[in-house]
């Protein structure tokens, strides 16, 4: 799995948003980051309110946010996100535009936005 791209972006001071459409995939992406000492949170559907609230409270200190696209669609705002990784292909252009909008928020002192598409090989993620 090309998590080395995630590591490099975090080492360069970026705050990536990693999108996937599968809850299990989100957890699998988080594991190698956490093993390397990178703080990351996973936002996905079917979360209990207490768990979701705890994650939302921790987002200001989180280096990488991994989320399902449906969860962070309209209304989600975390201005310091500056890099977008796509964990799975997105077929509808409108969804892609909306997801890219999550990292185009204005924030004082932030680096220019960076977009990356990562292709994860079947059977390796």
Residue 99 lies in a domain: yes
What pTM, to 2 d.p., does this model score? 0.78
pLDDT of 34 over the 70 cut: yes
Q: How far apart are CA 112 and CA 100, in angstroms?
A: 13
Instruction: List Cβ<8 Å contacts ≥24 apart for 8-11.
Output: 9/83, 9/114, 9/116, 10/38, 10/63, 10/64
CATH code for the domain in which residue 104 is found: 3.40.50.300
- Residue 49 belongs to a domain: yes
Q: Is residue 123 part of a domain?
A: no
Asked, for residue 86, whether it belongs to a domain, the answer is yes
Assess if residue 113 is contained within a domain: yes
Burial 46-62 (b: 16+ CB within 10 A, else e): eeeeeeeeebeeeeeeb
Tokens of 101: 């909008």
Whether 124 maps to a domain, the answer reads: no
Tell me the average pLDDT across 40-46: 91
DSSP-assigned letter for residue 85:
E
Report the number of distinct structural domains present in the chain.
1
pLDDT tens figures, 69-125: 777 766 777 888 888 888 877 776 666 666 666 666 555 565 665 555 554 444 444
- Which domain covers residue 19, as residue numbers? 3-117
Q: What is the pLDDT of residue 21?
A: 85
Dihedral over alpha carbons 38, 61, 116, 119 (to 10 degrees) = 40
Task: Say if CB 109 and CB 80 are below 8 A apart.
Answer: no
Examine residue 54 and state whether it is found in any structural domain, yes or no: yes
Instruction: Evaluate whether residue 31 is within a structural domain.
Output: yes
């Amino acid at each position: 799995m090309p998590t080395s791209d995630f590591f490099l972006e975090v080492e360069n001071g970026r705050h990536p948003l990693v999108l996937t459409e599968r809850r299990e995939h989100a957890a699998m992406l988080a594991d190698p980051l956490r093993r390397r000492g990178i703080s990351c949170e996973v936002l996905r559907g079917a979360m209990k309110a207490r768990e979701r609230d705890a994650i939302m409270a921790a987002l200001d200190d989180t280096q990488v946010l991994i989320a399902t696209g449906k969860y962070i669609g309209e209304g989600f705002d975390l201005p310091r996100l500056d890099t977008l990784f796509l964990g799975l292909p997105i077929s509808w252009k409108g969804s892609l535009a909306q997801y890219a909008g999550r990292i185009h928020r204005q924030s004082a002192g932030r680096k220019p936005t960076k977009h990356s598409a990562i292709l994860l090989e079947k059977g390796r993620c």
